């Protein structure tokens, strides 16, 4: 207890005695034991009240030993099952966790990892991916304080995540790898990275980029073959030697039919090659029949027409033609989307065709637009006819959500030339760009998307958009941002489907089952996300009698089902909303690819570099005694004595309050009993 606190307690006692003295003894002629009893009770009351104000405390100090943490990380992937042929990993772990010297020196923690890290004392070796970097990073985040040692039992082959050799760990964490598996470097040839697009278009050629890797010293010559749905479509002979150990094969393959196509790349095996699982690799591509024909109808020549044509045709699956408005209706039949550039009275036949066909249109107005005609002819918007042109700057609507804008922005964009006058949208729509005239932001659309009805429409109320495409190039040295916006607009206009209340998010092809996820988003009738619905999914296999129905779990703003337990094959599924007549179907394919089978030799050199970087040491299974001895005797991991301070009140305030109440009550009763005031 502090000296100042003791002094305050003494002063409190003196103060209480002084008050009692003046109340009961100073110039008080009354004698007897009653006065002494009342004075004592009053002293106790005052002294306890002053103690409450002082609240005296003392510090209770506890001492304890804090051990360093020893974290045992065990690779639980399927590649470790083959590594157990020479060494039982479970025995290695048991030897560490039951050692008395380690238990006395460390606080032991055991984790297993594949894709994710989890605390467990059982090993199954069934994980289809290995993410060593995630396991080490997570361990570094969990064990922040003190000095920590990690024993990493693994073959060092990582199939997922960042390169663990280059991750930055805390200075208090040292990694001691235990290398399991065969460390012999065998001669091997394999199919490496395969790059392919997700989609291809019918009767087009799609590129396939394949890397072939060779590990060996002697010259070899092997044949690579590429098959599409079991039919060989390409074959090429490649030569390798010690210096030329990899080659990239670029091939163009024609898409002849619609659907999901399986692409298999194979390389001839070497003589006496130990690992042939990596001599082939499968992937898939979906061939779709989609060609968008865009027709620009214009009565004038303008740079905007050329800019639109180049922007839209930046996607090879879109073609643009330019026609006059007085052409026959047959010229409009092949168009999927019509762009009506600055309509005049000559567009009367075009608008009659649009009204009958219901095709999507993109209207662009400007100084040559006949607004009297346009206001009478169409029923989507109307503009006040003021024959005065003005420069209009664009203001982006950041809340726009009809379709994605990508990286499009309007920074430093030049103005468009348009006519003054209020614009009223007669149908439901959303504004992509607002107007700014002479520094004043107006609640008027410059670029609007009409969303009401099945017919898709868009309207741009200004000309000279070619300057926007040029400005995009000046900003980013690429036209891609502007072209992406036009592409998304064409996708929106080219789609005749109304927005569905049940949206699905899934991949057509999964490399392996561990990556198979299907997500669903369900909206109520007002298109607000509904988190209280029950959504189920029914899955059927195309190749077997497999049939399963299970609920989809709510995760944030979507529902999800994990399909990691499915076998390789083709599947169809149907997602159903209970209590609502809503169903969506789809199909996907799971490839029979296991990255854990691609390598059979342990990567001991990378594990050695990891140990050196973190001030640890690398060991082999036959050096476990040395590992235990080094850790248990190292001065780096000595237990640290620490103290804990507990501040405790000298007297519980409840006791003081009880004494005050008791003494006051006793004093009051005694005074009343004796007739004192």
Give the residue-averaged pLDDT of 515-540.
Answer: 86
The answer to whether residues 520 and 428 belong to one domain is no
Question: Do the beta carbons of residue 108 and residue 97 sit within 8 Å?
Answer: yes
Could you tell me the pTM of the whole model? Answer: 0.55
Structure tokens that stand for 18 in this block: 């002084």
User: Which domain covers residue 47, as residue numbers?
Assistant: 3-62+647-673
Give the pLDDT score at 85. 52
> In this structure, are 339 and 460 located in the same domain?
yes
In a domain, 434, yes or no: yes
Tens digit of each residue's pLDDT (9 = 90 or more) over 572-586: 999 999 888 788 998
Same domain, 167 and 243: no
* CATH classification at residue 329: 3.40.50.880
Instruction: Report pLDDT for 394.
Output: 93
Q: Tell me whether strands 558-562 and 569-577 are parallel, antiparallel or unpaired.
A: unpaired
* pLDDT of res. 29: 65
Q: Reply yes or no on whether the pLDDT at 61 is more than 80.
A: no
Same domain, 405 and 468: yes
**238/312 same-domain check:** no
Look at residues 243, 265, 287 and tell me which one is the last residue of a structural domain. Answer: 287
The last residue of a domain, from among 494, 528, 557: 494
Of 224, 252, 287, the residue that ends a domain is 287
- Residue 596, pLDDT score: 77
**Across residues 504-516, what is the average pLDDT?**
81
Asked if residues 566 and 572 have their Cβ atoms less than 8 Å apart, the reply is no
Q: In this predicted model, what pLDDT tens digit does every residue of 94-123 receive, in sequence order? A: 899 899 989 888 999 999 998 889 888 788
The answer to whether residue 121 sits within a structural domain is yes
Does the pLDDT at position 646 exceed 80?
no
Is residue 596 one of the residues assigned to a domain?
Answer: no
Same domain flag for 441 and 373 = yes
pLDDT at 223 over 90: yes
The pair of three-digit structure tokens given for residue 258, joined into one six-digit string: 């619609």
Q: Would you say residue 274 has pLDDT above 90?
A: no
Question: DSSP class of residue 269?
Answer: P
* pLDDT (mean) for 340-356: 92
Do 623 and 519 reside in the same domain of the chain?
no
Per-residue pLDDT tens over the stretch 165-181? 999 998 889 999 999 98
DSSP 8-class letter at 368: T
Q: Indicate whether 368 and 447 sit together in one domain.
A: yes
Query: How many domains does the chain divide into?
Result: 5
**Mean predicted confidence (pLDDT) in 298-323:** 91
677: confidence class by pLDDT, cuts 50, 70, 90: low
We report the CATH number of the domain holding residue 226 as: 2.60.40.10
Residue 548 maps to a domain: yes
pLDDT over 60 (residue 86): no
**Distance, CA of 144 to CA of 148 (rounded, Å):** 9
Looking up residue 127, the CATH number of its domain turns out to be 3.40.50.410
Task: Find the helix packing angle between 303-312 and 480-494, rounded to 10°.
Answer: 80
Query: Would 395 be classed as within a structural domain?
Result: yes
What's the chain's Rg over C-alpha atoms? 40
Instruction: Using pLDDT thresholds of 50, 70 and 90, give the confidence band for residue 467.
Output: very high
| Structure confidence at residue 523 as a pLDDT band (50, 70, 90) | confident
| CB contact at 8 A, 390 and 420 | yes
Q: Which of 56-60, 306-310, 522-526 has the lowest mean pLDDT?
A: 56-60
> For 23-46, what is the mean pLDDT?
79
Say if residue 314 is in the same domain as residue 432.
yes
Q: Is residue 595 part of a domain?
A: no
Is 309 a domain residue?
A: yes
468 and 364, same structural domain?
yes
Q: What is the pLDDT of the chain when averaged over all its residues?
A: 87
Same domain, 214 and 159: no
Percent of the chain exceeding pLDDT 90 equals: 38
DSSP-derived secondary structure for 18-69 = HHHIIIIITT----SHHHHHHHHHHHHHHHHHHHHHH--EEEEEEEEEEPEE
Judged by DSSP in three states, 369 sits in coil
Query: How far apart (Å, rounded) are the C-alpha atoms in residues 413 and 430?
Result: 21
Question: Residue 387 has what pLDDT?
Answer: 79
Contact 561, 552 (CB under 8 A): yes
7 and 99 both lie in a single domain: no
């Amino acid at each position: 207890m502090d000296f100042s606190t003791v002094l305050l307690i003494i002063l409190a006692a003196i103060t209480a005695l002084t008050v009692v003295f003046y109340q009961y003894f100073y110039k008080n002629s009354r004698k007897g034991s009653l006065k002494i009893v009342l004075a004592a009770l009053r002293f106790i009351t005052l002294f306890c009240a002053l103690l409450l104000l002082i609240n005296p405390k003392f510090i209770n100090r506890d001492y304890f030993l804090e051990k360093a943490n020893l974290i045992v990380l065990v690779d639980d992937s399927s590649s470790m099952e083959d590594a157990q042929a020479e060494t039982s990993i479970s025995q290695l772990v048991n030897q560490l966790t039951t050692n008395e010297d380690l238990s006395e020196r460390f606080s032991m923690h055991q984790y297993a990892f594949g894709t994710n890290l989890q605390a467990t004392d059982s090993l199954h070796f069934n994980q289809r991916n290995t993410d060593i970097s995630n396991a080490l990073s997570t361990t570094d985040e969990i064990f922040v304080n003190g000095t920590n040692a990690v024993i990493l039992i693994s073959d060092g082959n990582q199939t997922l995540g960042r390169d663990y050799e280059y991750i930055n760990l805390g200075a208090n964490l040292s990694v001691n790898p235990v290398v399991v598996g065969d460390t012999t470097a065998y001669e091997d040839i394999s199919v490496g990275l395969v790059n392919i697009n997700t989609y291809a278009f019918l009767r087009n050629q799609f590129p396939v980029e394949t890397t072939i890797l060779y590990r060996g010293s002697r010259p070899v010559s092997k044949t690579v073959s590429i098959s599409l749905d079991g039919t060989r479509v390409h074959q090429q002979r490649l030569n390798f030697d010690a210096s030329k150990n990899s080659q990239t094969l670029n091939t163009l393959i024609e898409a002849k039919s619609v659907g999901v196509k399986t692409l298999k790349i194979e390389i001839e095996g070497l003589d006496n090659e130990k690992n042939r699982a990596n001599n082939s690799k499968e992937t898939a591509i979906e061939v779709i029949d989609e060609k968008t024909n865009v027709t620009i109808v214009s009565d004038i020549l303008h740079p905007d027409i050329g800019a639109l044509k180049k922007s839209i045709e930046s996607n090879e699956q879109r073609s643009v033609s330019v026609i006059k408005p007085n052409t026959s209706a047959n010229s409009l039949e092949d168009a999927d989307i019509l762009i009506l550039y600055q309509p005049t009275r000559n567009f009367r036949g075009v608008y009659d065709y649009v009204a009958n066909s219901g095709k999507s249109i993109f209207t662009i107005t400007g100084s040559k637009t006949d607004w009297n005609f346009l206001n009478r002819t169409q029923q989507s918007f109307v503009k006040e006819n003021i024959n005065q042109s003005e420069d209009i700057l664009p203001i982006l609507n950041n809340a726009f959500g009809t379709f994605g804008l990508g990286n499009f922005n309007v920074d430093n964009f030049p103005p468009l030339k348009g006519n003054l006058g209020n614009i009223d949208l007669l149908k439901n729509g959303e504004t992509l760009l607002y107007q700014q005239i002479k520094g004043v932001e107006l609640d008027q659309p410059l670029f609007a998307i009409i969303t009401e009805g099945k017919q898709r429409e868009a309207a741009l109320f200004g000309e000279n958009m070619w300057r926007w495409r040029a400005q995009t190039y000046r900003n980013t040295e690429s036209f891609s941002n502007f072209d992406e916006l036009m592409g998304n607009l064409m996708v929106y206009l080219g789609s005749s489907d109304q927005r569905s209340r049940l949206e699905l998010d899934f991949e057509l092809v999964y490399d392996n089952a561990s990556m198979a996820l299907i997500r669903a988003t369900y909206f109520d009738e007002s298109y607000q996300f509904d988190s209280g619905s029950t959504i189920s999914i029914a899955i059927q296999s195309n190749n077997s009698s497999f049939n399963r129905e299970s609920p989809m779990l709510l995760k944030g703003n979507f529902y999800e089902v994990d399909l990691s337990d499915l076998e390789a094959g083709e599947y169809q599924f149907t997602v159903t909303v209970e209590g609502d007549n809503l169903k969506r179907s789809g199909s996907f394919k799971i490839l029979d690819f296991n990255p854990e089978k691609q390598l059979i030799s342990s990567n001991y050199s990378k594990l050695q570099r990891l140990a050196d970087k973190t001030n640890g040491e690398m060991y082999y299974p036959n050096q476990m005694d040395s590992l235990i001895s080094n850790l248990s005797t190292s001065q780096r991991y000595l237990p640290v004595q620490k103290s804990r301070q507990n501040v405790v009140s000298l007297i519980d305030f409840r006791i003081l309050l009880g004494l005050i109440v008791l003494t006051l009550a006793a004093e009051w009763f005694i005074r009343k009993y004796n007739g004192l005031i």
